[in-house]
Structure 1
Amino acid sequence: MLAGTASVLLAIALIRLWDRWRRPRPGARLLESPLQPMIFLFRDRRLLDATAPARHLLERIGAPDSDWARLAGWIGPRFPGLDLVGRVAAETRIEVEGETGAGSARLRLLAEDLGEGVLRITLTDPEADHAGIVVDSLSQQAMEEELELLRRALDQTPMLVWRQDAQDRITWANAAYLRRAETLSEGELGWPLPRLLDSPKPVPGAGTSTRRAPLESDGVVSWYDCHSHAAGDQVMMFALPADAAVRAERSLREFVQTLTKTFADLPIGLAIFDRQRNLQLFNPALIDLTGLPTGFLTARPTLFDFLDRLREMRMVPEPRDFRSWRQQMNNLESAAATGHHVETWSLPGGQTYRVTGRPHPDGAVAFLFEDITSEISLTRKFRAELLLGTHVLNGIEDALAVFGTGGQLAISNEAYDRLWGEKSASLPEALQLWRSRIEPGPGFAALGQALSLPEGEPQDQGAMSGPDGRLLGWTVTRLGGGRRMVRFRAPELRQEREAEAAGNGHAPAEARADLAVAGQK
């Protein structure tokens, strides 16, 4: 009996020890990290609930804002051709397996219709089924794909990207940097990589520093815009190709130099003021025309200081008072800023300037000063000669009219206006006017024929009946350039005027002699 009782007690003790050995310890249970499946609950495409791995996946996907759109955009490439909503509505429950992803995971999707518009979606890794657990391989796959995308983007970018430590040693570089380093190196590359560009160091507190640096290879210089960003104890460098910008800046400088040389040779004074109305550009002709000191112009005076200095040097029209002068200059500035404006300045010294104001981009305004004294003198002389010619024509007793190549009336004298009463704009209108004032006959027909012929005798003449019934002689003279001059004279009227002048003692000697002989007879 004692032996049996001892055996039973020993067996019970062994059973309790075995059970205690198999039961997990409290500390070990706290160290376990229970894995949760990736499950999404949607109602009418609105997220109701999701497990922690599922929410983590949605956060990793990012845009767009809708949870359903984000999940659908992520599932679509991995399950091509899957109509999730349509198949669930038709079959209530579907289970599909996706294609092999970019990482180590292959996906299985389980979608179930729970009724009342609730849809449950479960994503699992089938390779973890044999272990009896659900691994969060989807988040791992998303990170692997994002990492692969970033690597490809950095390797395919044309700019040079590298990282260097506090001792300026290169600890990482992209494919473009490695290719350029291999081209410039004579042997095999080793770590740390050689520095290709004199890149700037980030300024504390500024965040980013920029510098343009050259890189010479086989006698060809390439330019890069280098940007540095502090990343902890190291610095990230980005070098963007700037050859196009350098060529554009060089072309711009050459263009500006060409314009500067052109402006220097212009006889017209040029003054360009910016939107704050400060002088930014002028040429030597401005100094020659205005007499302003070079130091005054290089100090970039304002527009009104510039005009006031011209007024002090008597290089502007003399105003009646200072108020009218200031108003006139304000009008000049506003008119030049809004559109093309031209003024003529008659200076006290006898010179005449043409001042032109033109608006420029960004609110700037340019003024051109041109000396037109010789032009004005020539115009005045020409006008005086025209006036003299007009007086000479009006002093001739015969009626004169000159018609141009196209038959337009070019000039006529006062005797012509008195004879016919009015002027005609063209030769056809003049012929019609003459026909209406006289009795047409052979003489008028011969006149019309002489005027209608473009070429013929240098001079044709004849006679016809005048407006008052007296005999009227006419002469057609062909001038240079296809112009024709018509001359009308009345012999009887001329004799009467000569007789009247002889009675007043103003007749010519021959006329007075004829009248004396007639008196003796």
Structure 2
Amino acid sequence: MSFDLWQAAGLVVTGVLSAFLAVLFLAVLQRKIGRRGDSIFLETSGNAEFLFDGKTLIDATPPGRSLLPKACQSNAAAWPCLISYLEQRFPGVALRLETLATDGILVMSSADDGKDDPLLVRAEWRGGLTRITVVESESPQSAQVLDPLTRRAIRDELDHLRRITAKAPLPIWRESDTGDVVWANARYLDIAAERLGDEDDLTWPLPKLFPTMDPPSSGASHRKKLVGSGGETDRWFDLFAAQDGDGAQIYALPADTAVKAEEGLRAFMQTLTKTFAHLSTGLAIFDQDRKLVLFNPALLDLTGLSPDLLTKCPNLPTFFDALRSSSMIPEPRDYKSWRNQITDIEEAAANGHYEETWSLSSGQTYRVIGRPHPNGALALSFEDISTEMSQTRRYRADLELGQAVIDALDPAIAVFSAMGVLVMSNAAYAQLWDHDPAISLGAEGSVAAVCDHWRRATAPTTIWDRVEDFAAQMSARDAWADEVRLLNGRLIVCHFAPLSGGATIATFRPTAFDEQLDDPLAVASCKMVG
């Protein structure tokens, strides 16, 4: 009886211990699974493994997730990013994976180029799921284990590079020799995803944003337009390619601002061209490299230069050489020194101080003005002033003729303008009053200053006060006359009369007896009679 009791107690104790051990084992296993991130992969081999349902990621081991950029951690974006990674190391793997449901298993090795250890990719089809494993093949190089510090440095550098490319504000991608996009950063994937339909996902191969792009060449840039979809505006990019062995790395710099600025500049230039087309002044604008960038039709008419020459954007020396060949500049005596003067012309125009009058052999006269423009540009204007110069010469000739006429008159004459300024006198006036207005101008030419000079040369009289009032009157005036006596005793008849426009003319004539004294023959006869 006692034996049965002890046997029953042993069975109870054994059952309790078994249950306790089972619960303890399950708790330890649950904590272990929790530490592994609730992953379905329980292997501890450290390989990069992925499990896909079609092209949707179900799970991946930590080494596998480390192969994917942060922008590709989502279940939908993982497949094209993984294919991009594999295609660079296992060419043709994308096509092989398409037939995996039929083949059942796939094993490929990366090319052994002597630089890196070969890799192996293994893909299996299990119950409608695709399991992909990437491992490092066994080789003498792979047997070498890196020290922890080196592994940490490599991991940190890889993480930094991934963050840089992921946060880059411009699209960056890599193309193979065949032109396929085998890698792209987050910005490229975002733009590509924006252009997909609501029901579409990114697939392999990655879509090309610029399908008509020329073959990439290092150092060359291509400006391409990305046509907007769904009502979006078009975007412009400057593409820069860097060749790298079996492919090319391409950078797309946003150029919307530059394109808008160029369009604005082009519209402004068209406006200027239309405005300048109606000017009679010839205009030539040179950029900071002194190449002709803008001219108007008047320049062709004034200089006679051919449009073919000007449309070739000649530089400043070539432009002046063409003018010299057309006899449109004053012919220099020394052509070499004249060529050196072009530099002086350029410097003077750049400082805003160049202005000359060119008298040509054809009889034409041009006024040439140089002015600086923003950003180092230079503007030259050519104006035909032949008519103006002819009128000036004619006016000067008329003045000289009028001066010669009044100089031939016997009476002394002085003319004051409406403002009371002495503007004209003759030789008899200068001889009578010992006063040459051509030498004394400005304030000394005013009617007040001239009257003071007359007061000092004559006996005291009130005539000069009347003259000042008469010249200042703006209303209707009547001519009047009076006599004054010079300090040398000569008697002078003064006559003052208004002219058109408010001017005043003063005429001085010696009396008849004083005229006889001025005549040497009359003086001699008087002495003989005396």
**TM-score interval (norm. to shorter):** 0.5 to 0.7
Equivalent of 1:239 in 233, 252, 265: 252
Q: Secondary structure at the match of 2:235?
A: strand
280 and 454 in structure 1: CA distance in 2 versus 1, 3 angstrom threshold:
same
2:342 aligned residue: 333
Instruction: Give the aligned length.
Output: 358
Q: Secondary structure at the match of 2:223?
A: strand
Moved more, 389-398 or 430-439: 389-398
For residues 223-302 of structure 1, the aligned pairs below 5 Å read: 223-231=236-244, 233-262=246-275, 264-269=277-282, 284-291=297-304
Tell me how far apart the structure 2 counterparts of residues 228 and 248 of structure 1 sit (CA, whole Å): 24
Equivalent of 2:458 in 407, 431, 438: 438
2:504 aligned residue: 485
Deviation at 1:462, TM superposition (A): 4.8
Deviation at 1:227, TM superposition (A): 2.2
155 and 312 in structure 1: CA distance in 2 versus 1, 3 angstrom threshold:
closer
Q: Which amino acid aligns with 2:477?
A: P
| Residues 354 and 370 in structure 1, CA contact (< 8 A), matched pair in contact too | yes
Equivalent of 2:358 in 318, 337, 344: 344
Does the alignment pair 1:162 with 2:173? yes
| Residues 317 and 342 in structure 2, CA contact (< 8 A), matched pair in contact too | no
Deviation at 1:225, TM superposition (A): 1.1
| Residues 446 and 462 in structure 1, CA contact (< 8 A), matched pair in contact too | no
Equivalent of 2:416 in 388, 403, 408: 403
| Residues 171 and 185 in structure 2, CA contact (< 8 A), matched pair in contact too | yes
1:189 aligned residue: 201
239 and 494 in structure 1: CA distance in 2 versus 1, 3 angstrom threshold:
farther
Q: Secondary structure at the match of 1:227?
A: strand
342 and 493 in structure 1: CA distance in 2 versus 1, 3 angstrom threshold:
same
| Residues 441 and 464 in structure 1, CA contact (< 8 A), matched pair in contact too | no
1:90 aligned residue: none
1:113 aligned residue: none
Deviation at 1:280, TM superposition (A): 7.7
Deviation at 1:215, TM superposition (A): 1.2
Tell me how far apart the structure 1 counterparts of residues 484 and 222 of structure 2 sit (CA, whole Å): 97
Q: Deviations over 1:117-163 (max 9, x none)?
A: xxxxxxxxxxxxxxxxxx98776666655555444443333211234
Deviation at 1:250, TM superposition (A): 2.2
Percent identity over paired residues = 37
2:389 aligned residue: 376
2:227 aligned residue: 216
Q: Which amino acid aligns with 1:450?
A: F
Tell me how far apart the structure 2 counterparts of residues 186 and 333 of structure 1 sit (CA, whole Å): 64
Does the alignment pair 1:178 with 2:189? yes
Q: TM-score, normalised by structure 2?
A: 0.54
Equivalent of 2:401 in 358, 383, 388: 388
2:430 aligned residue: 417
Deviation at 1:243, TM superposition (A): 0.7
Structure 1, unaligned runs of 5 or more: 1-134, 504-521
Deviation at 1:285, TM superposition (A): 4.1
Q: Which amino acid aligns with 1:326?
A: Y
State the superposition RMSD in angstroms. 4.6
Q: Which amino acid aligns with 1:345?
A: S
Moved more, 334-343 or 212-221: 334-343
Deviation at 1:433, TM superposition (A): 1.1
